[in-house]
Structures are given as structure tokens and as C-alpha cells.
Amino acid sequence: MEFETIKWPGVGGRDYEFRVHALPCERYGRGERGVCIFARGTPGDWKAIFIEHGFIADLIRKAGADACVGKKGASHVHVRLVDRPDACRRIVADLLTEHTEAFAPEGCNRKPEG
């Protein structure tokens, strides 16, 4: 099955390729780990609302119940499958450094303490 893909740039100039899915999305099963970007917009003009890592199906389910993600207008989830949790954490940190629109009040990520 073919998926629309998008490249999200990190702060270091590295691009990360993600699959694009309209919400709600039930494509992913238990045990598939990676990074999700909940976004609004249109191809070529996406805005990150929430960036997180973990088990994809759980992230999508939780975001669907999260009032913030819905209120901010997330219409799509962008998914990158990554097996290793340490790699997921690095990708999320890199993306959040570049895509500060994902932080509150514009987005739903909380700024780190300190």
C-alpha cells in the first residue's frame, strides 16, 4: 500500500520522512513504535500541533481523546516508524527544537522545565 509522505526538517538540517494519514487513523496495530506529528494544514503548508513518541496506535488513540489536539485543529497524523525508544526521543527533541509552533499556547507540547 502506498502512503503519501512528507519530510519534516530537524534543527540540524536532517529531514525525517513521515507517512501522512487523515484523522481518525486506525492503520497501526499494537506494538508499532515510532514518532507522531499531529498536524493541521494542507500539503506544503503543515503546522505541527503535537509531537510525541511511543506506540503509534496508543498515541493516536490518546490524541483523539485529548481536548488540546482537537481544539487546535489537528486533521492529520504524520507517522515515522522507529523501533528504538532512544532514537525516538532524539527525533522528537530535534523536531521540537525546529518546530516550536508545537509548544503551547499555539500547539499542545509543554515546554521543558528549566
| Number of structural domains found in the chain | 1
Asked if residue 111 belongs to a domain, the reply is no
Over residues 39-87, the pLDDT tens digits come to: 999 888 999 999 999 999 999 998 877 789 999 999 999 999 999 999 9
The domain of 80 spans 5-84
Cα torsion 87, 89, 92, 96 to 10°: value is -130
Asked if residue 54 belongs to a domain, the reply is yes
Over residues 13-39, the pLDDT tens digits come to: 899 999 999 999 999 988 999 999 999
Asked if residue 93 belongs to a domain, the reply is no
Collect all residues with Cβ–Cβ distance below 8 Å to 4 and sequence separation of at least 6.
Answer: 19, 20, 43
Report how far residue 16's alpha carbon sits from residue 95's, in angstroms, rounded to the nearest whole number. 9
